[in-house]
Amino acid sequence: MTFSVVVLAAGKGTRMKSSLPKVLHPIGGKPMVQRIIDTVNTIGASSINLIYGHGADQLKQTLGHNELNWCLQAEQLGTGHAVQQAAPHISDDEDVLILVGDAPLIKPSTLEELISIKQSADLALLTVHLDDPTGMGRIIRQGDQVTAIVEHKDATDEQRKISEINTGMMIMSGQNLKRWLNNLNSDNAQGEFYLTDVIAMAASEGKVIKASHPSSAIEVEGINNRMQLANIERAFQFEQAQKIMAQGVSLNDPHRFDLRGELTVGQDISIDVNVVIKGKVTIGSNAQIGPNCVLIDCDIAEGASIEANSIIEQAQVGEHCSVGPFARLRPGAVMHAKAKVGNFVEMKKTTLGKGSKANHFTYLGDTTVGEGANIGAGTITCNYDGVNKFKTIIGDGAFIGSNSSLVAPANIGNNATVGAGSIITKEIADNELAIARAKQRNIANWERPTKK
Ligand code: UD1
Ligand code: CA
């Protein structure tokens, strides 16, 4: 049978103390509700109904690219009332899988199992046993049979001892769901229309109710505050760490690894502690990433070595290149094979040719450097006149002496040499030496001033 999905996401998330709706807070760099939508999209739902209320504009802006039925719940009168808002989109002869927007680690396999046990039942529930079930809806059973869910606030002391709880995720036919929702009342401790009351209705009609469980409780753990957000983030990151380790990556500490995007890896890669990876990143075999590096939308080729505290964004690092420590590769930086960039070197829209080096304290912007060139310590390309940007070209085998300023547009030929401390404002042809600095003057027997 086909099924549609309802995602409950109308709550404000008061305890987050945030102007961002709770379900937009990120896990692994992606809004938590987007993770749920992505999961649902892998299991073949016919449509997704998103129940929204608080933060409508922000939700629509962030989630607008998804194919969703937007169902406004203007007032949050309870989970049953929330699902009711999707009723116009629900057809009788389809199953309806209800999910919560604040439990982002739910796995496709867990949902698939829930859907499959529904095939031999009228209603299937996802439940879990918790050491501390405080606050959760308790699963009431008679013998093996689930007969009701009782909310914590409505439960007797005896019922509160039950450790099996409602995760909020369940599936039933559209026809039954709509009929039961119409019979809900708010006659309970919270004065809300509880979705969970449909369980007792199903049981009283003699319907078959079955329960399945997630492989781990973390999958169904909801996020209500920032501590829970952080816990779920760590659980998510540990899972990602395990995945990439299984692909042949050594992580010095899988608990100090943060991937907020997609990482494609080769083998025998080592990643030291506190590395943050965002966007789409590729790391080739035998590459090493030192501690505290940030890699954003970049490609690190085979055998490259990124030393501690380097930041690489929208850049390409070629095979066996060396970067850092403390290097910054900004958008458009390209290093060809075996090129080297050392400490406190910044590159933007700059290509460093094969085997070329810029080892210390340098800024290269809008620059093309050929092969085998050496850019001395403290070299600065002056690429910006305050209004426009200009390009610098440095030829193969060029040698730029330390502390030189290359005023762009600059054109420095193959095997050209620039004397240390030069301010270069004119073109330098192949094989020429340019020295552009004040001549040294020596004064003999110089008397230093004395204190008056
Ligand atoms: C609910 C369940 C409880 C279960 C728990 C699991 C009910 C009555 N109780 O309790 O059995 O153990 O989840 O976490 O269903 N929401 C709306 N509109 C509303 C109310 C809630 O969209 O009017 C959304 C919230 O944004 C949230 C989800 O529904 O994503 C759950 O709501 P919440 O208030 O957290 O329910 P609980 O009281 O925790
Ligand atoms: Ca909750």
> Is 168's C-beta closer than 6 angstroms to any atom of ligand 1?
yes
Residue ranges per structural domain of the chain: 3-220, 226-434
pLDDT of the residue at 222 = 95
125 token code pair: 């529930």
Q: Can you say how many angstroms the Cα of residue 256 is from the centroid of all Cα atoms in its chain?
A: 15
Sign of torsion over alpha carbons 443, 447, 450, 452: negative
pLDDT of the residue at 117 = 98
Task: Report the mean per-residue pLDDT for the chain.
Answer: 97
Name the pLDDT band for 42 (thresholds 50, 70, 90): very high
* Ligand 1, atom nearest to 194 Cα: 8
> Is 127's C-beta closer than 6 angstroms to any atom of ligand 1?
no
Contact 342, 358 (CB under 8 A): yes
Residue 11: nearest ligand to its CA? Answer: 1
**Mutation choice for ligand 1 from 8, 20, 70, 79, CB with most ligand atoms inside 8 A:** 79
- For residues 322-338, average pLDDT: 98
Name the pLDDT band for 1 (thresholds 50, 70, 90): confident
* Beta-bridge mates of residue 69: 49
Reply yes or no on whether 65 is catalytic.
no
Other CB atoms within 10 Å distance of the CB of residue 253? 12
C-alpha of residue 254 to centroid of ligand 2, in Å: 29
In angstroms, the CA 408 to CA 395 distance is 15
The C-alpha angle with vertex 202 and arms to 196 and 207, in degrees rounded to 5, equals 140
C-alpha of residue 221 to centroid of ligand 1, in Å: 12
Contact 344, 326 (CB under 8 A): yes
Name the percent of the chain lying above pLDDT 70. Answer: 100
Distance spanning both ends of the chain, measured CA to CA? 99
Q: Which residue's CA is the closest to the ligand 1 atom numbered 21?
A: 79
pLDDT of the residue at 315 = 99
Residue 12 scores a pLDDT above 90: no
Contact 371, 353 (CB under 8 A): yes
Question: Which CATH architecture describes the domain 226-434?
Answer: 3 Solenoid (2.160)
Residue 152: nearest ligand to its CA? Answer: 1
- For residues 13-22, average pLDDT: 95
Residue 11 scores a pLDDT above 90: no
Residue 165 scores a pLDDT above 90: yes
Residue 100: nearest ligand to its CA? Answer: 1
Q: Which residue's CA is the closest to the ligand 1 atom numbered 13?
A: 168
Residue 308 scores a pLDDT above 90: yes
Name the pLDDT band for 352 (thresholds 50, 70, 90): very high
Query: What are the phi and psi torsion angles at 226 (to 5°)?
Result: -75, -25
Q: Which uninterrupted H or E stretch holds 361?
A: strand 357-369
60 token code pair: 């629509």
* Ligand 1, atom nearest to 80 Cα: 15
> Is 225's C-beta closer than 6 angstroms to any atom of ligand 1?
no
251 token code pair: 């992580």
* Ligand 1, atom nearest to 102 Cα: 30
> Is 137's C-beta closer than 6 angstroms to any atom of ligand 1?
yes
pLDDT of the residue at 236 = 98
Name the pLDDT band for 5 (thresholds 50, 70, 90): very high
Give the fold, CATH level 3, of 3-220. Spore Coat Polysaccharide Biosynthesis Protein SpsA; Chain A (3.90.550)
- For residues 101-117, average pLDDT: 98
Residue 448 scores a pLDDT above 90: yes
pLDDT of the residue at 204 = 97
> Is 83's C-beta closer than 6 angstroms to any atom of ligand 1?
no
Residue 326 scores a pLDDT above 90: yes
